Structure 1
Amino acid sequence: MTNPCRQHFQRVTAAQQAAATPQNQPMADSSAYTMQMAQLHQHYQQLRGIQSTQAKEELKAKLLPDYAPYIDGVLTSGQGAQDEVVTTIMLWRFDAGDYEGGLQIAAYVLAHGLEMSDNFARKTPCLIAEVVAEAALKAARAGNAFDIGVVAEADRLTAAHDMPDEVRAKVKLAIGLLAAGMVDEKEPKPDDLQCLEVAQHFIPRAIELHERCGGKKALERVEKLIKKHAEQKPS
């Protein structure tokens, strides 16, 4: 079979077998799942031979297309069977910097209550929220770009799920810092006030959840800029 034909076959097979497996039951008896797990095991061996975190992330980015047909099939027709391939590829997408792709899988994972493998101590919603929030916080504190919509979506997807307050605080703080980071004091923009108001909403919430989250100085800057904006507004 040509590569597109093989991909189509993998996608259709995964969809059919995922649709036939009830929620919370393992996909272990599925031939499509068995093949993907065998492939995953091979790739795990490759990753274990690499010490550099950056190099591991780069390799994961190269390997992800091998799983795309299977993931597409499961997300299209799956009934929520327990699936280590799905949860692993979700995290690999995050690791590779594909946060939108990771959250696409996360929506399915959370909707059906899929659990992480025993290698992870944190519950699935907590893990999703923290991985996204920490990446966003790292970018925000370094002055680098990060899509605030990604963090907002992670917040929305995990809002109804229980997790430590410290983790929820990271999500709120990330949204607040990213919003505040959109404001350049030297080059005012029409939507600055809206960004500052978003920051003024989320940063105090983060501090409320975890007082030592690191948002107090950022909040001082936001309140200072809001006051400055009000003083400059024509009467």
Structure 2
Amino acid sequence: MASSIRKHYERVTAAKAAGDAGQAPMHGEAFELMQAQLFEDYRRLKSIQSVERKIEVKREILPNYVEYVDGVLEAGQGAQDEVLMRVMLWRIDIGDIEGALSIARYAIQHDLDPGEQFQRSTAAILVEESADQALALAEDDDSLLDALREIDTLTDGADMHDQIRAKLHKALGNSHRAHGDVPEAIAEYQRAYELNDRIGVKRDIEKLERDLKKQNQTEPEPDTKSGNGQQPITSPAPEAKS
């Protein structure tokens, strides 16, 4: 385990490299060391066939990039950085959507390119990969709902296939439903269906609309009377003084 002094050094050197790079592609010793580490870790992951084992390995290696990422986010000015983008994706892969968001905010602000191998924009990757993970995670997690909402806001207006955006709205619908917010769940499912009528939410919409209708029918009328149906007693107004 790296010492606190070593961690501080890694963060400081990463921040300096990011500051020196400006808006040009990342370079410098700190970046080159992380790039070499990334290459080795990527080779290791490619040699593993089990998806479950890949996730375990990603959980194991991601802490090695924390100081570098923190340094770049602290001083970066938008330099293209394949290490940063790969770490964002790996964080999503292990279900750490909040951790990925810390990078995504920076990446989208500076319009970072994820690389030709992804064939998608940063916004599209963030939406699709996060939605896929959310659909497999515990839907009643408050932090998950907050993260999905932020992703929706962060990528609002970004161009991507409708099918990708539909996944996000389905995940949002699931999360709202798990929290008991039926009207919001219906609205998200309906938006998902508008974007992709094969997204698999039609029955969810129908069931929730039935449930909401029953709920509205069984709710008692608000009691506008006071006491046993009598008008409330009020004190007589004081006489005006002459």
Name the larger-Rg structure: 2
Larger mean CA deviation between 74-83 and 14-23 belongs to 14-23
Gaps of 5+ in 2: 222-242
In structure 2, what residue type is equivalent to 1:14?
A
Give the SS at the match of 1:10. Answer: helix
Distance in 2, matches of 1:208 and 1:97, equals: 27
Segments of 5+ residues of structure 1 without an aligned counterpart are: 183-191
Q: Say if 2:93 and 2:133, in contact at 8 Å, map to a contact too.
A: no
Q: Is the 8 A contact 1:128 1:154 kept in 2?
A: yes
Give TM-score, length-normalised by structure 1: 0.88
The correspondence for 1:198, drawn from 176, 184, 187, is 184
Q: CA–CA distance in 1 between the matches of 2:102 and 2:75? A: 14
**Residue in 2 aligned with 1:156?**
153
The two structures, once aligned, show a CA RMSD in angstroms of: 1.5
Aligned ranges for residues 24-39 of structure 1 at < 5 Å? 25-27=24-26, 29-39=27-37
Q: What letter corresponds to residue 151 of structure 1 in structure 2? A: L
Residue number in structure 1 paired with 2:237:
none
Percent of pairs identical after alignment?
40
Other-structure match for 1:95? 93
Distance in structure 1 (CA, Å) of the matches to 2:74 and 2:183? 38
- Equivalence map 1:112-127=2 (5 Å): 112-127=110-125
- Provide the residue aligned with 1:217 in structure 2: 203
Distance (Å, rounded) in 2 between the aligned partners of 1:69 and 1:181: 35
Equivalent residue pairs, number: 218
- 1:185 maps to what in 2? none
What SS is found at the alignment partner of 2:136? helix
Q: Greater helix share, 1 or 2?
A: 1
Answering whether residue 172 of structure 2 is matched by residue 175 of structure 1, we say yes
**In structure 2, what is the Cα distance between the partners aligned to 1:209 and 1:105?**
27
Which aligned runs of 4 or more in structure 1 are off by greater than 6 angstroms? Answer: none
Say whether the 8 Å CA contact 1:7–1:69 is kept in structure 2: yes
Question: Structure 2 length as normaliser, TM-score?
Answer: 0.86
Tell me, in whole angstroms, the C-alpha distance in 1 between the residues paired with 2:52 and 2:165: 27
Q: Which amino acid aligns with 1:35?
A: L
